[in-house]
A and B are shown apart, each in its own frame.
Chain A
Amino acid sequence: MSILLEVNKVVKQYGDYVALNEVSLSVPKGSIYGLLGPNGAGKTSLIRIINQITFPDRGEIILDGEKLQPKHVQYIGYLPEERGLYTSMKVGEQCLYLAQMKGLSKAEAKKQLDYWFDRLGIQGWWNKKIQELSKGMAQKIQFVVCVLHKPKLLIFDEPFSGFDPVNANVIKEEILALKEQGATIIFSTHRMESVEELCDDIALIHKSNKLLEGKLVDVKRQFKTNSYEVGILSDNVEGLMYDITQKFTVGPANFKSLNKELKLEIQLGTALPNELLHVLTQRGQVTHFVEKIPTVNDIFIQSVSGK
């Protein structure tokens, strides 16, 4: 798969503080790319550099095969975390203004606005002022402004904050639809469940450095510990435990089930699952046998606290 955005050894310093230390990323075309990291890791600095709001001290950025340059702002749609609109301006005028700034003609902007207002069911808002809208409603307008000019690259910084679950879902569907239409999406958030749900690729930035990057499945494979969650109904628990601990490392597990079985987390090491199953089936009834896949949350916490 080809690369849409390539960040190459980017360094950004604010005075003595290094915000980005030789960070390199490759964002594949047509993917949803999760940019993760704790607060103050340098995510926003990086996003601002991609948007040409600030400029890197060293390193370069390649967008669609070209070195990043001012004309590229019209290929990028940006929904910043700190976002707002002119409160005393009317919705329609404001959207037209912001769309024209992205290089759309007035007629084209109007056409796109009609399409999006219709799609999100907000046609009646054209002449309202932003101050008359609720926060969630204003967020919808911001979303429209961000995607209006059909950008190749969309950058969403905490897109779901401020939305109720219904509207958050609407926005999620729209993001997926945009991906279907070929857009590439960089997605920065602290909400790991939405990363799990949406992202194809992730990168983790911590303390100005990139810790890891790759396809979500590859990263998970890299982080898996070859351990299994097991539920077993057994009359002879002591015998069972004895058998297992001979070969494997065992710990307690916690998962939901309907039976009152023994719940274990078993580390296989180099052994194969069948070897474990063989031991288990001799000692009782296996009700639960699942490979433990690390969640993005686990990976996040493990990487950040490990280093």
Chain B
Amino acid sequence: MSIISLIIKREFIAKVRNKSFIVMTFLSPLLFVGIAAFVGYLSSMKAETKQIAIHDESGLFVKDFIAENNKKGEYKYLDLTLVNTQVLKDSITSEGYEGLLLIPKTTNRADFESNIQFISNSSPSISFIEKVQNVIGNKITNINLVQAQLDTLAIKKAQSVVNIKLAKASGEQSVKGLNEIKIAIGGGFGYLIMMFIIIYGNMVMRSVIEEKTNRIIEIIISSVKPFQLMIGKIIGTSLAGILQFVIWAVIGLSLMFAASLFFGVNVGPTAKLPPELMHQAQQEFASTAQTYIKELWNLPIANILLGFIVYFIGGYFLYSSFYAAIGAAVDNQTDSQQFLLPIIMPLMLSVYVGFFSVMNDPHGTIAVVFSMIPLTSPIVMLMRIPFGVPLWQIAISVTLLFATFFAVVWFAAKIYRVGILMYGKKPTWRELYKWLKY
């Protein structure tokens, strides 16, 4: 058996047998599903209806609000026009009203635009205020239309709703909202890479530090080259990580499946509709779902998966070489903090750039530049790939990534080779630079 595979095997077994690894592997999905179930339970609970008192001296709007009550929304409107305003104001707290809507009597309807008040002890949500404004605004518009003796029906007919169809030059149809799906897919993979790097990069570092503190390192590198040990360690740890991810995926999926069978969870918008609407909605839902599924299949799936594998390998090896070098340079984990920051920064940066710039404009300058820079490209480029990236850009990005990867492995191996034999002192950046020349 070759030396490297021997090291990979040992690292893998050492990681997998570790008690905390076993606990993490089997507890995390349970915890995750548990939290998901808890959140689901909380949101399925019926929200408390909030009572809104309406004092409408004009008498124009209160009916429209009362009509809203039929829609079974979060808010229940009460017509309290007969009660004195001051009494109402005082009773907001005592009667438990969420708020009081005061509509004064005016002679000029234009005055309504600025004279309506909402009094509340808690700050109302923006959506609620918009809703109230809509109801009142619509009513006034309607009255205005009638007064101007315009045919409201004719106006309604004349209004047009435009629904732009998205399509590519190649003729493929597209659906709105697909961009969100694309960013979710790219983001999901990018996030996965980041998590993997942080969790298992750290594991690589810990295992290097362990060999140093155990003082076994000198025995080992009298048999193997430090470079072999480093590569074996990184590969062994990543295999353990992949196993952990696979187990998580399997447990998570089967738990989700079991949960959905057990609770009989209904999926989608059909849940709360009356039966006569249900059928129609189902059909609509099914047809949109079909379009979405079709669109999903039209995504460059092969590119995404291939990109994931390539960037995963490149990114993980790049970063874990850094982690290994840091582990070699320090004596214990607390000393590693100052060297870890420069590693975490580009990772965070790529996730932020990914979610803000790529979502905004997948082919904008920021997104393109960051998908070329090796330290951020694994995450940013993955987020861009679902939107279709020209091949030459991927080629440049991958070339840069792997060129940097080899440079960093060389650099890390040097630090590693010197660092593992340095005991009892916390190196500075300057010393690390000096080690490169040993």
Mark A residues whose CB is within 8 Å of B. Answer: 14-15, 48, 51-54, 70, 73-74, 76, 78, 80, 82-89, 97-98, 100-102, 142, 145-146
Q: Is B243 part of the binding interface, using a Cβ–Cβ cutoff of 8 Å?
A: no
Q: Which residues of B contact A53 (CB under 8 A)?
A: 218, 221-222, 421
Tell me if B271 counts as interface (CB < 8 A to partner A): no
Near A by CB (< 8 A), chain B positions 203-229 give: 210-211, 214-216, 218-225
**Bound CA span A14–B421, Å:** 13
Q: Chain B residues with Cβ under 8 A from A98's Cβ?
A: 219-220, 223
In the bound complex, residues from chain B placing their C-beta under 8 Å from that of A73 are 222-224
Given contacts A15-B437, A48-B421, A87-B214, contact A78 B219 (CB under 8 A): yes
Which has the most chain B C-beta neighbours within 10 Å: A85, A86, A146? A86
From known contacts A15-B438, A100-B6, infer whether A80 and B218 are also in contact, taking CB-CB under 8 Å: yes
When A51-B222, A80-B222, A100-B6 are in contact, do A88 and B216 touch as well, CB less than 8 Å?
no
B438 CB contacts on chain A under 8 angstroms: 14-15, 54
Beyond A48-B218, A97-B6, 14 additional pairs, beta carbon < 8 A: A53-B221, A53-B421, A54-B421, A70-B225, A73-B222, A80-B215, A80-B219, A83-B216, A85-B214, A86-B210, A88-B14, A98-B223, A100-B6, A146-B219
- Shortest CB-to-CB span from A89 to chain B, Å, is 7
The residues of A that contact B10 with a CB separation of less than 8 Å are 97
A-B contact pairs, 11 of them (CB 8 A): A52-B222, A53-B222, A53-B421, A74-B223, A76-B222, A80-B215, A86-B14, A87-B214, A88-B14, A88-B18, A101-B223
Q: Complex Cα distance A53/B220, Å?
A: 10
Contact, CB under 8 Å: A101 / B6: yes
Within 8 A of A (CB), among B384-414: none
On chain A, the residues within 8 Å of B437 by CB distance are 15
A-B pairs with CB below 8 Å: how many?
Answer: 67
- Inter-chain contacts of B224 with A (CB < 8 A): 73, 101
Asked whether, in the complex, the Cβ of A145 is within 8 Å of the Cβ of B219, the reply is: yes
The answer to whether A101 and B216 touch across the interface, beta carbons within 8 angstroms, is no
B314-334 residues with Cβ-Cβ distance < 8 A to A are none
Give Cα A204–Cα B66 distance, bound, in whole angstroms. Answer: 103
Tell me the bound Cα distance from A82 to B214 in angstroms: 9
CB distance from A156 to the nearest CB of B (A): 13
Residues of B within 8 A of A80 (CB): 215, 218-219, 222
Q: Is the CB of A84 within 8 A of B421?
A: no
Q: Which residue of A lies closest to B6 (CB)?
A: A100
User: Is the CB of B71 closer than 8 A to any CB of chain A?
Assistant: no
B168 part of interface (Cβ distance < 8 Å): no
Q: Which 3 residue pairs of A and B lie closest in terms of their CB atoms, listed nearest first? A: A84-B215, A101-B223, A80-B218
Residues of A within 8 A of B225 (CB): 70
Chain B interface residue count: which class? 20 to 34
A82/B222 contact (C-beta < 8 A), A15-B434, A53-B421, A88-B14 known? no
- A60 to B438, alpha carbons, bound, how many Å? 18
State whether the Cβ of B32 lies closer than 8 Å to any Cβ in chain A: no
- Give the interface of B toward A (CB within 8 A): 1, 3, 6, 10, 14, 18, 210-211, 214-216, 218-225, 417, 421, 423, 434, 437-438
Residues of B within 8 A of A15 (CB): 434, 437-438
Contact partner, A101, options B18, B220, B423, Cβ 8 Å: B220
Given A14-B438, A15-B438, A98-B223, is A83 in contact with B218 using a C-beta cutoff of 8 Å? yes
User: What residues on A are CB-neighbors of B215 within 8 Å?
Assistant: 80, 82-84
Kindly list chain B residues whose C-beta atoms are within 8 Å of the C-beta of A86: 14, 210-211, 214, 216
Nearest B residue to A85 via CB reads: B216
In the complex, how many angstroms separate the beta carbon of A46 from the nearest chain B beta carbon? Answer: 14
Q: Which residue of B lies closest to A83 (CB)?
A: B215
The interface residues of chain A lying within 8 Å CB-to-CB of B14 are 86, 88-89
Assembly CA distance A54 to B26 (angstroms): 43
| A102 CA to B421 CA, complexed, in Å | 20
A51 to chain B, nearest CB (A): 4
With A14-B438, A48-B421 as contacts: A102 and B218 at CB distance below 8 Å: no
A78 touches B216 (CB 8 A): no
For A106, give the chain B residue with the smallest CB separation: B1
Inside 8 A of B210's CB, which chain A residues have their CB? Answer: 86
- B214's nearest neighbour on chain A, judged by CB, is A84
- A142's nearest neighbour on chain B, judged by CB, is B219
Instruction: State in angstroms the CA–CA spacing of A27 and B423 once bound together.
Output: 30
Give the distance to chain B from A143, nearest Cβ to Cβ, in Å: 11
B232 CB to nearest chain A CB (Å): 11
Q: How far is the CA of A76 from the CA of B220 in the complex (A)?
A: 13
Smallest CB gap from B438: residue in A: A14
**Nearest-Cβ distance from residue B223 to partner chain A, whole angstroms:** 4
Q: How far is the CB of A41 from chain B (nearest CB, A)?
A: 17
A1, B407: Cα distance in complex, Å = 48
Q: How far is the CB of B204 from chain A (nearest CB, A)?
A: 16
Given contacts A14-B438, A48-B421, A97-B6, is CB(A102)–CB(B223) below 8 Å? yes
Q: Which residue in chain A gives the minimum CB-CB distance to B417? A: A54
Distance, CA A53 to CA B224, complexed state (A): 9
| Chain B, residue nearest A102 (CB) | B223
Q: Which residues of A contact B219 (CB under 8 A)?
A: 78, 80, 83-85, 98, 142, 145-146
- A88 to B222 CA separation, bound complex (whole angstroms): 21
Most buried by B among A48, A84, A100: A84
CB A36 to nearest CB in B, in angstroms, measures 20
Task: Specify which chain A residues have a CB less than 8 angstroms from the CB of B417 in the assembled complex.
Answer: 54
B318 → A minimal CB distance (Å): 26
B220 touches A82 (CB 8 A): no
CA A74 to CA B224, docked complex, whole Å? 10
Q: Give the Cβ gap from B235 to chain A, nearest Cβ, in Å.
A: 16
Closest to A81 in B: B218
> Bound state CA distance, A78 and B219, in angstroms?
7
The complex places the Cα of A48 from the Cα of B214 at a distance, in Å, of 18
| Closest Cβ–Cβ distance, residue A10 to chain B (whole Å) | 16
Nearest A residue (CB) for B10: A97
- B216 contacts across to A, CB distance below 8 A: 83-86
Q: How far is the CA of A153 from the CA of B235 in the complex (A)?
A: 33
What separation, in Å, do the CA atoms of A54 and B417 have in the docked complex? 8
- Tell me how far the C-beta of A72 lies from the nearest C-beta in chain B, rounded to whole angstroms: 11
B6 touches A82 (CB 8 A): no
